[in-house]
Structure 1
Amino acid sequence: MKKLKILALLSLTVSVLVSCFPKASQVIRSLPVESKEQILSQYSSEEIAEGKVLYTNHCGTCHDLKEPESRTAEQWNRIVKRMIPRAKLNDRDGQLVRAYVIVNAKSS
Structure 2
Amino acid sequence: MKNSVLILMAAAAFLTSCGPKSTAVTGPKYSSTEKIAEGKTIFENSCNRCHKLPDPAKHDDQGWIKTLSRMAPKAKLSDEQHQMVYDYLASANKK
Tell me the TM-score normalised to structure 1 length: 0.63
Q: Which residue of 2 aligns with 1:99?
A: 87
State the identity as a percent: 32
Runs of 4+ in 1 over 3 A off after TM superposition: 23-26
Cα drift, residue 26 of structure 1: 3.8
Separation of aligned partners in 1, 2:20 and 2:91: 21
The answer as to 2:42 corresponding to 1:46 is: no
Change (3 A) 1:68 1:25: farther
Q: Which residue of 1 aligns with 2:5?
A: none
Segments of 5+ residues of structure 1 without an aligned counterpart are: 1-22
Root mean square deviation, CA, Å:
2.0
- Residues 77, 98 of structure 1: 8 Å contact kept: yes
Question: Which of 53, 58, 61 is the matching residue for 2:46?
Answer: 58
Separation of aligned partners in 1, 2:21 and 2:45: 21
How many aligned residue pairs are there?
A: 77
Q: Which residue of 1 aligns with 2:58?
A: 70
